[in-house]
Amino acid sequence: MEGVISIIVNAALFLLKLWAGMMIGSIALIADAWHTMSDSISSIFLVIAVKLSGKKPDEEHPFGHGRWEQIGAIFIAVALGIIAYDFGKQSVESFINREQVVYGTVAIIVTIISIILKEILAQYAFYIAKKTGNDAVKADAWHHRTDSLSSVIVLIGILFAKQFWWIDSVLGFIIALTIAWATYEILKNAINKMLGETPGKEFTDAVTKEIIGYYDEDLQLHHLHIHNYISHKELTMHIRLNKNLTIEHGHEIASAIEKLVQDKFGMMTTIHVEPILYDYKKIEK
């Protein structure tokens, strides 16, 4: 639903800002229009990604299709990156050629409408992302937010355009940098989750507390990693136990911990068991 609303609103805003930008010959306003259009493109990717990620696990994909959300986020970031480069280049060329733009009332009205509508879309998308934990929706929300901020920058430029001939080209470059930063943040988040994450301290402490509470003898945890398939998450860890325990006893402890993590945190767990005070140098030789 969020994606469909985004597509409709962004398409309308794109036409409105493109018309205003072409009327006055403003790179900043036209860049802002295409930034908005990229929201429609990203929303289409979002709708497709959410649809694909909802498919159930199958023989070829036993962990489900949840990572389509990350793939969708990467597509969005690529679209943003292309737009950032293009308008950054145009802005530099405009500055070198000392091109000046004269804004009017139409540009002010269009820009204010864009700021209000885009921030409403951003707030709505952030709400949905927080509720569902969907990274693609969160990426789309940031896309709306950057578009709103870029329109704020354009509005400021419009108010000072008569005093500074270079304002349009500088604003266009600032918008390009804003888009580039959003690209970086979205890519970093999506790629980190696809590669595997080191759990945060809060999560690690919570897991450790639960496990130590269950097993009150010598036990050490390390090498905790999360493998995030969105609809399915796996936790891997190493545990060190008393070296005098039997293999059977060690297996029982590991199995009990796996059940504990499943019940408390909703994650499947794979555990590698090691003896405490294990001499790794011997095995290396």
Secondary structure of residue 56 in the 3-state scheme: coil
Domain end call among 195, 214, 239: 195
Supply the CATH number for residue 266's domain: 3.30.70.1350
**What pLDDT is attached to residue 5?**
78
| 101 and 26 assigned to the same domain | yes
Question: Which tokens in the block code for residue 126?
Answer: 């952030």
216 with 188, same domain: the answer is no
* Residues 165, 131 within the same domain: yes
The pLDDT value recorded for residue 24 is: 77
Total domain count, the chain: 2
Q: What CA–CA distance (Å, rounded) separates 208 from 273? A: 15
Residues 54 and 149 in one domain: yes
Residue at 128: amino acid letter: I
What is the helix (H) or strand (E) element at residue 240, kind and residue range? strand 233-241
Q: Indicate whether 49 and 110 sit together in one domain.
A: yes
Element (H or E) spanning 160, and its range?
Answer: helix 135-160
The verdict on 205 and 186 lying in the same domain is: no
Residues 175 and 259 in one domain: no
CATH code for position 32: 1.20.1510.10
Give, in degrees to the nearest 5, the angle at Cα 189 between 68 and 224.
Answer: 95
Burial class (CB in 10 A: 0-12, 13-18, 19+), 247: exposed
pTM score over 0.85: no
Using alpha carbons, list the distances in angstroms from residue 244 to 9, 19, 221, 249: 67, 78, 18, 10
- At 281 the pLDDT is 46
226 and 137 share a domain? no
177 & 206 share domain = no
DSSP string for residues in 92-118? HHHHHTT------HHHHHHHHHHHHHH
Each residue's pLDDT, cut to its tens digit, for the chain (285 residues) gives 666 777 788 788 888 888 888 887 777 777 778 777 766 666 666 667 666 666 666 666 555 555 666 777 787 788 778 878 887 888 888 888 887 777 778 888 888 888 898 888 888 888 888 887 777 677 778 777 877 877 887 788 788 877 888 887 888 788 788 778 878 887 887 777 766 556 667 777 888 787 877 776 667 777 787 776 655 677 888 888 888 888 888 888 888 888 888 888 878 788 888 887 655 444 444
Cβ neighbors of 104 (< 8 A, separation 6 or more) are 24
Together in a domain, 228 and 168: no
Give the gyration radius of the chain's Cα atoms: 26
Q: What is the model's pLDDT at position 93?
A: 84
Amino acid at 93: E
Token pair for 181 = 């930063």
Q: Are residues 175 and 240 in the same domain?
A: no
Which one of 169, 195, 221 terminates a domain?
195
**69: containing domain:** 2-195
- Of the candidates 126, 160, 195, which is a domain's last residue? 195
Give yes or no: residues 243 and 264 share one domain: yes
Q: What is the pLDDT of residue 280?
A: 46
